[in-house]
Amino acid sequence: MHELHIQGLTKHFGDFVAVEDVSMTVRPDEVLCLLGPSGCGKTTTLRMIAGLEYATEGAVSFGDHPVTELSARDRNVAMAFQFYALYPDLTVAENLVFPLEAENASAGEKEQRLSEIADILQLGSVLERYPHQLSEGEKQRVAVGRCVIRSPNAFLFDEPLSRLDAKLRDEMRGSIRKILATLDRPTVIVTHDQLEAMTMGDRIAVMRDGKVEQVGRPLDVFERPQNTFVAGFIGTPQMNLIEGSCLSADENTISLSLNGERVTLAADQFEVKPKAGVSVTLGFRPRSVRETSEDGLRFADANVTLTENMGAETLVHCDWNGFAVRMLVPGGAYNEGDRVNLSVALGSLTLFGQDGERLTMKSDLEVA
């Protein structure tokens, strides 16, 4: 099966630029998740791939076959929408096999595919029911099943789990991932839920204001965010971001000032270094914060302002000289008003430059 190629995809609505210069390739065996806040352009991008919106600029192709000028019908893609539109006068079984009519599938093929999809999505007991007799979760599963029962050029999902409760979302993530692993088709999933993106995607494309900020494997995006936006958007709880300035940078060390606290980093870790006098931002995950006075980045005499019980862990919010520092710890032995000494190992820090972009480290190049 062919790869999905997206090149310079751009969409204007009058003077408003909804999507700008989006380029990426999705392999036949790959699931790519478009992740970002509401209004960032991810659904518009998906609709341009499907042919439901014509691109102002750019191209979409499957392998060497351009489809940019083709209608949605002629692109042969299967799409599941956020608001599932089931045929009310057809049973679940009839809804599921309806897309196979256009492929002139034989009765035997229809029966086999129906059995496979119904088994994976646990729809066997409701095949003879009509949509109005189904729960919301069952309707969503039928919509997904109707999409993946086909053999199109690509599968496209627009917020497929957004209308389900938490328990059903957990179940459906695994079910959809199981199906997609067997289809050998490029798949694009739009979501604003980072957990869905992290668990269902082989790669994630993080979008903001119509542009792609970073594309990479889920763990790489989490551990090596390209800029402060991605750093703050990916991860629950969010990464701590502390602003400061560069005091000096030479071949051996990079010295930073964070509200009077001097931090020294080994310069040989970085391919790109900040210049003296420029603003920088240090990022670190709440799980890397510890109550200790050991060497590293220290936050002495921080004030606990809020604690959030997250079950096995507690998120502790602290104020350190006007900076918000969050710490994620087992148990819940902290109270508002406590004074604590915190530190972060230097190896857990991410350094961003004046423009908010991550300063490339040698470890980044080794991963790439």
- Average pLDDT, 10 consecutive residues per value, the chain (368 residues): 92 96 95 95 96 96 94 90 83 92 84 89 91 87 86 88 75 78 88 90 96 96 94 92 93 87 82 89 93 81 93 92 92 89 88 90 48
Do 191 and 306 belong to one domain?
A: no
Write down which residue in 184, 208, 229 finishes a domain.
Answer: 229
Do 37 and 113 belong to one domain?
A: yes
Write down which residue in 195, 229, 263 finishes a domain.
Answer: 229
- Sign, Cα dihedral of 144, 148, 150, 155: positive
The count of domains in the chain is 2
Alpha helices in the chain, H assignment, sequence order: 42-50, 72-75, 92-101, 107-120, 136-148, 166-180, 194-200, 218-223, 228-233, 362-367
Other C-beta atoms lying within 10 Å of the C-beta of residue 18:
19
Do 223 and 250 belong to one domain?
A: no
Does 234 reside within a domain? no
Do 121 and 202 belong to one domain?
A: yes
pTM recorded for the entire structure: 0.87
- Environment class of 238 (CB within 10 Å of its CB; exposed 0-12, middle 13-18, buried 19+): middle
Q: What pLDDT is stored for residue 365 in this prediction? A: 41
Does 146 reside within a domain? yes
Determine the 3-state secondary structure of 28 from DSSP: coil
Do 29 and 142 belong to one domain?
A: yes
Do 254 and 133 belong to one domain?
A: no
Q: What pLDDT is stored for residue 50 in this prediction? A: 95
- Sign, Cα dihedral of 230, 231, 236, 241: negative
Do 162 and 247 belong to one domain?
A: no
Does 235 reside within a domain? no
| Alpha-carbon span 15 to 222, nearest angstrom | 34
Write down which residue in 229, 259, 280 finishes a domain.
Answer: 229
Question: The CATH number of the domain where 326 resides is what?
Answer: 2.40.50.140
Do 90 and 217 belong to one domain?
A: yes
β partners of residue 240: 284
Residue 302 domain boundaries: 240-367
Do 193 and 327 belong to one domain?
A: no
